[in-house]
Each structure stands twice: as C-alpha cells, then as structure tokens.
Structure 1
Amino acid sequence: MADQNLTAEHILDDLAWRGLISQTTGDDELRAVIDAGPITLYCGFDPTAPSLHIGNLVQILTQRRFQDAGHYPLLLVGGATGLIGDPKMAGERTLNPVDVVHEWVERIRAQIEPFMSFEGDNAARMVNNYEWTKDLSAIELLRDIGQYYRLGTMIAKDTVARRLNSDEGISYTEFSYQLLQGMDFLELYRRYGCVLQTGGSDQWGNLTSGTELTRKAEGVTVHALATPLITKADGTKFGKTESGTVWLDPELTSPYAFYQFWLNQADADVVGYLKVFTFLSRAEIALLEEAVAAEPFKREAQRRLAWEVTCLVHGAAAAQGAADASEALFGRGELSNLDASTLAGCAKELGGGAVSPGTTVVDALVEAGVVESKSAARRAVLEGGAYVNNVKVSDADATLDTGAALAGGWFVLRRGKKTIGIVRAFE
C-alpha cells in the first residue's frame, strides 16, 4: 500500500505534491516539529451516520501517509462529539439516540481499521472521546475548559457566524461543539504527546480550537493541517451521484457502484484523484497522466483509479468482481462468471426490478428501464438491438428462460451497446 518514495521524501513535500495541504498553523514551524520527530498526530471522525463516505477517505489516507513516513497516528471516533454533531452551514442536526451513536462508533471503527497498521514500532491507535467525557460534569467543563474560550472568537467561526445570521440561528448544543473538539486535542496531547491534528479545510475553526486550547492550558504549541475540500474541475461537488452519497459501507454503496463512480471520473479530474486517493508513486501517476493526454478514449487512468480505490476500500476480490461486472454488463466479458452478490449490487445501481417466470422479453425490457414502452421494446428486438444476458434476441414474442438465468435469478437486458438494465425472475 505504501508509497516507497516517502522513505526519501519529506511527508509535507509529498502531501503538497498530492494537493493535500490547504493551510497549516505554520509551514516552517510544522516542518521543524516533524523533522525533530517522529510525531504523534490525530484525526477525528464523528459517527453522525452509520458509515463513512469517500470524503472521509481523504483523512484516513492522510493519516496512513504519515504512518508510512514513520509517525504515530491516533484515529479518534467521536462517541461523545457524535452525540452532538458538528454544526452544519444550514440547519440543526438531528440528535441521534445514544445507543445508535454507540453502534455507529463500532461500525466506523471497523471501517477505519483495515487502512492502518496496528503493529510495529509506530503502530496506530484507535481512541474514543466518550472515554474522557462520559464522567465530565457541566461544572468541570465550564471551569476547566470554558475559561479558555472567548465568546467573540467562538462567534466569529464561519459556520457559527453564518448560522447566527440565519432565520433558524444555532442551538447552544451545537455552538458548544468546538469546546468538545478542542478538549480532544488537549486530552490527546496530555495522554500521548499528540502535536498535530489533520482535517478538512471546512473544519479549520474546530482544528484551531484545539491548538488554542492546548496552548492556553499547557503553554505549548501544537499544530493543525487542513486538506482542501475535494472538488471536480468544473467546481461542482465531489462525492455525490444521482443516487446520493458514495459510502464506504458496501450495503449502502455496492462495490460495483463504488467502482463505477471512480471509473466515470472526467479526464480533467482523474490525475488529481490518483494523487489524493491512491498510493501510486509519482512515476506511475506520470505515466497515467501521459496516457490521459495521448489516448483518453482508453480511459486507462480511470480504470487504474477505480481498481486502486476499490481494492483499498473493499478488497481485491470485490474489486475484481466489480471490474468483471463493468466489462460483462456491456458485452465485453462473461456474465456467467458474476456471483449473485455482485449482480445484486449492479441491480442497486441500475434500479433493477422483479418479474415473474415466463415474462416476455418485451415486458422485461420495459421493467428494466431499457426502453420506455412495449412498442419501443418490440422495435428494438426487430431491429436486432435487444440482448438478454448478452445474447441477441430476434423473436419479439420470446420469454425469459429461467434456465438461462444468471446467479441469483438475474437477467441483464441491453439495448444497443450502452443502455442496460437488470431484472430478477422469482418463482
């Protein structure tokens, strides 16, 4: 997984080349601390949903890059901060039940752990801020932490200021979030000597909450490093599809859909994403960049991106299944090699329906969303452009043969080269 270049290259130089530094609390100062290291650093993940998404992947991989460079990462899953939630730009968060948040903590821990190494001289460590907040009284929070915060500074934070100027305003609960996040950095400094927190640039106010609290409470300088928010070349939001957020949980975003998301990235974006989301070396990425410029129609860089990230998140077997499905669905591979779970994932992405045995191919084409009407389906068959499991259908009255169904009872319907759908036949 690791980029071996890091043995000879400073971690900050590598992060800068990958476009992963938006701002720091001081470039020269941070470099000096790292040079005197190795250092302990952390990143926090709040369980405000049952799964992390690909935006969180930026932070996980950044922590892994630091570990590969010899540093000590702490991965914090916020069992306490997740009960409140970081203020959003618009509207209050829903306060989830305590038992639900604790369940999500374990789910997110399980998602993070495969990316890190918990063995060796610089083993990673998982931590939960619920441990040092569950017995904290309101008086202790106000006296021991609140004394270091100034209201003017808290109000000036971007999200808080915007919410205060909105019709809805902001609750005291969400307003107080920055105290809890700041306390995390202070506690991790005291327990483990942690001197750096990483996070997205939209979290800068929360990052500096921790650096300032630790400076005031302990009289020491600690640091923050923010990564830029990932966007597309046209400036639009990254990480969303027509069906919504791209999650790391395979039950929420199937490996097939996950693979397709990366495969469908634009030429203008793919090299930047290779730098951010993979551990490929500069030389490997340079070759892929050349391929994009010389033969963009081959989409070599997109295929490598999809393979690398799907392997990282779901493993090589799932990545191979997704890659095979991507080829086979469009007639370039063998559909019979796909297992039932891969086909079910394809159905989630393609919106597959259910049909009865004996359903006509014409009706199945309509049910699969491949055509808009029965007349259009009949026309596609008669013109030689309709396929069932990659086999051309020439009889407009033909029915689905359950004996020819794919694993799990699935049928792939296709019109022409690119319009596909999938249905499942139930007895």
Structure 2
Amino acid sequence: MTYRPKSEFLGIMIQRGYMADCTDLQALDDALIEGPVTAYIGYDATAASLHVGHLLNIMMLRWWQKTGNRPITLMGGGTTKVGDPSFRSEERPLLDNAAIQSNIDGMARVFGRYLRYGDDAALMLNNAEWLDSLNYLEFLRDIGRHFSVNRMLSFESVRSRLDREQSLSFLEFNYMILQAYDFLELYRRYDCRLQMGGSDQWGNIVNGVDLTRRVLDAEVWGLTSPLLTTSDGRKMGKSAGGAVWLSADMLSPYEFWQFWRNTTDADVGRFLKLYTELPVEECERLGGLQGAEINDAKIILANQVTTLLHGADAAASAEATAREVFEQGGAGGDLEVVTLPPSAIGEGLSVVQMLAQSGLTASGKEAKRLIAESGLRLNNDLVTDPQRMLTADEIGGGIKVSIGRKKHRMLRLG
C-alpha cells in the first residue's frame, strides 16, 4: 500500500496488518485527523459465543476506541432472522427470538472484555430496533428502488453460490439490503460514518456506503480486514475440537491459552501484531526467533491474548498448568515420550487412530472401549468423542496422553 496515512488509527491498521481494502482511504484519513469518528461492525447472533475468527475485528474495534474514536458493536437481532448467505453453501438454520437473545447475551460478555461501554464510550446496539418494525411496502419503495438486482447478482458472495447451482432463497437474497439499511440507520441515528468487517463482507459494506450516500447524501466509508488463514492454509480459529470459542464456559482459559501456545512458528510474529498490543518492533523481534527460542515467543503470545480475554490471573494459571504438564510431567519427573511420524497425521487423525498407531492401546477397539469408560484424557481434559480429530500442529506442540490414573505419556511428532 503506497498511501501513507496521517491518522494514528490507519497507521496502526496498515503497520500491524489489519488492512485489506477501503472505499476512500484518504477521505477517511482526513476525517480521522479532524476529530473523533463513529464506526461499527455487525455480528449476527448465530451462536452462544463469539470465536477466534471474530477476534481480529474485535481488536480493530479496540484500536478504534484506543485512538480516540467511538465504536459500535451492532448485534444482529434482526438480520439473524434472515441469515447472511455470503460464501455459504446452504441456508443458515433459522433461530427463534429467545435463542437469538440468549446468543446476544453471551456475545455481549465477550465484548465487555475488549471495549469500554458507557457514556461517550462504545455503544452496543441491536438492529432489531429498526428492522423488526419495517413496513414491507414502504421499505421496498424507499430503499429497494436503490438496488440493482443485476449488480447484486454480480457480487462474488452470491455468484459463487449460484455458479455451484446451490439454492439461494429470496429470504437470504434480502440480507444484503438489510445490512445496507443498517448503515443508513446508524448514520441517521448516531452519525456513524464507517463500517468495518472482514473482506468477505466487502460487497455488503459497499452496498451500505452507496445506499447511505444515495438516500441521505452523506459521505461514509467502508474498510475491510483480510480473511485470515494460518501459514499452512487452514482457516483461522479452527482446531481439532472445533471452533475456538471466546466464552470461558464453552472453552476453558487453559484450552484457549494452549491454542495460541501451539501456533505454527511461521505465524508467531504476525499473530503478535494482530492479537496483542505489544509494540510492532517487539512483535517482529519475537517472531524472528529461531529454534527452541520461538517457544518463548509462543508463550508470550498465549499470555498476552489470554490476558486480554480472560485476565492476567487466568493467563498465569494456564501457563503454570502447561509447565506442570509439559516440563514436569504433571506428577513429578519427566514423561516418557511417544512419537508419531508426521506422515501418519496427514490432514488429521482421530484419537482412536492416534492411540492404536502410537501403540498406546493394542487396537482401535481397545481405544474405543477406553474412551467409552472415561479412561482417556488429553492435556488432563476428558475425551468423550472417539471421532475427535487431532492435527499435526496440535500434536507438534506436544500432548499429554493419560490412560487411566497411572499411565501418562507425552505424544509428539518425530
């Protein structure tokens, strides 16, 4: 990117790697120099918790507030009833009002860790406030006339679905209009002039910018972050056990800490810039460490990210537990190490396959019986699903395997 921003926020976005696209970078930069600007990111309430895939944009809102601007977290109490079709192969399950509100309550607790709410601070809003009361005919006449179906069909998020001859319901097709209308309402009610989101939301964001300009003749902007993948091409936020949740009651602080501790060497520096507030120079120094020293950088990464979400005490406790498990063997003395060849892992293998191939059980049948009898723990966590998958990254960081109360081994790749 050749443009050199003058504002602190955009400087951080570019230097730390948050920036993908902006509808008018210089105009946004000028507005930020003039004074505080209000921006929002929308979150549909499709689950009881946010996950690591949301964390990059949450950090953008945090930096937005830290640089003197006002963030809005927009809960999709209305749009969740429709479901965003962007880059999905099928329609989302429809949730009732009670489930949506329960999910919003869970998500709100996570935002409270990263943003300061209250007077003249961050706002948390729900788009059901204006979407639930829309008059359909008036909405079509006043808002729908500004949208070209031809243009809507040209967006990659829609075209990719149709090209695969997968059904796109009329309900879902309305989603981008409703999201655009959110931007218009937020500008009208709160002078919100910027929408941010992941790059998969670019088409929806541009629609909102265009609609707000057409209807209210307002200058507003859109800014997107890159869709993040790990260095080996996996979608950020996925692990062998599923989504990496941000709520402690869905994923323990220790498991959250371990997710970051097991970061691939090549991703450490980049993740330090994106998910911590350490100075960029320190992130680059830590990311450049080699050999065993890179593990020290991973511990710093895990501690920093866990502290932001769960607090310093939870991070310290997780590190202490990890040291006990990995360095002291959990019950005194070093653990006997069992190795698996990387070729055995491929894109992943189940815990049953892991036990049988490593020789920790005599057969897959014995492994299944062990799990059924609650006799297997990984990193001290009980395993109940014989189909749980393990990845090379997870095993590469070392896993403590406990069979019953007395048999403990350290599983590594070798």
Whether TM-score is above 0.5 comes out as: yes
1:92 corresponding residue in structure 2: 91
Quote the residue 1:142 is aligned against: 140
**1:133 has 2:127 as partner:** no
Q: 2:188 aligns with which of 165, 187, 190?
A: 190
The answer (yes or no) to whether the contact 1:44–1:75 under 8 Å persists in 2 is yes
Matched residue of 1:276: which SS? helix
Q: Give 2:109's aligned residue.
A: 110
* Equivalent position of 1:312 in the other structure: 308
Query: How many residue pairs get matched?
Result: 350
CA distance in 2, matches of 1:222, 1:312: 31
Letter in 1 for 2:217: G
Q: Does 1:101 align with 2:90?
A: no
Change (3 A) 1:330 1:126: same
Give the deviation of 1:284 after TM superposition. Answer: 2.6
Residue aligning to 1:322: 318
Amino acid at match of 2:220: V
**Structure 1 140/113 Cα, relative in aligned 2: closer, same or farther at 3 Å?**
farther
Letter in 1 for 2:314: A
Counterpart in the other structure of 1:373: 362
TM-score by length of 1: 0.76
Alpha-carbon contact 1:267-1:296 (below 8 Å) kept? no
Cα distance, 1:220 vs. partner? 1.5
Q: Is the 8 A contact 1:330 1:418 kept in 2?
A: no
Structure 2: distance between partners of 1:207 and 1:25: 9
Q: 1:412: Cα distance to partner?
A: 7.2
Aligned-pair distance for 1:91? 1.1
Letter in 2 for 1:13: G
2:326 alignment partner, SS class: coil
Conserved in 2, the CA contact under 8 Å of 1:182 and 1:210? Answer: yes
Q: Is the 1:23–1:227 Cα contact (8 Å) retained in structure 2?
A: yes
The answer for unaligned runs of 5 or more in structure 1 is 1-7, 337-350, 353-365, 378-388, 391-409, 420-427
Query: Distance in 2 between the 1:77 and 1:23 partners?
Result: 23
Query: Hey, what does 1:228 align to over in structure 2?
Result: 226
Aligned partner of residue 299 in structure 1, secondary structure: helix
Partner of 2:243: 245
Q: 1:299 is matched with which residue?
A: 295
Deviant stretches of 4+, over 3 Å? 295-298, 333-336, 410-413
Residue 414 of structure 1 is matched in structure 2 by 408
Change (3 A) 1:284 1:297: closer
**Does the CA-based 8 Å contact 1:370-1:413 persist in structure 2?**
no
The 5-angstrom pairing of residues 25-424 of structure 1 reads: 25-89=23-87, 90-119=89-118, 122-290=120-288, 292-293=289-290, 295-332=291-328, 371-373=360-362, 411=405, 413-415=407-409, 417-418=410-411
Mean Cα deviation higher: 68-77 or 100-109:
100-109
Whole-angstrom CA distance in 2 between matches of 1:195 and 1:224: 9
* 1:64 CA drift (Å): 0.8
Secondary structure at the aligned position of 2:319 is classed as: helix
Cα gap change, 1:413 to 1:253, in 2 (>3 Å):
farther
- Radius of gyration: which is bigger? 1
Deviations 1:163-182 (A, max 9, x none): 22233320001110011100
Residue 392 of structure 2 aligns with which residue?
Answer: none
Q: Deviation per CA, 1:128-163, whole angstroms, max 9, x where unpaired?
A: 101111211211221222121111111111111122
Change beyond 3 A, Cα 1:61–1:298: closer
Q: Kindly provide the amino acid, as one letter, of the partner of residue 414 in structure 1.
A: H
Q: Does the 8 Å CA contact 1:329/1:412 hold for their aligned counterparts?
A: no
Query: SS at the partner of 1:94?
Result: coil
Distance in 2 of aligned mates of 1:335 and 1:311: 27
- Say if 1:73 and 1:125, in contact at 8 Å, map to a contact too: yes
Q: Deviations over 1:344-388 (max 9, x none)?
A: xxxxxxx99xxxxxxxxxxxxx89x981139x99xxxxxxxxxxx
TM-score, normalization by structure 2: 0.78
The residue type equivalent to 2:111 in the other structure is: I
Q: Post-superposition shift, 1:192? A: 0.8
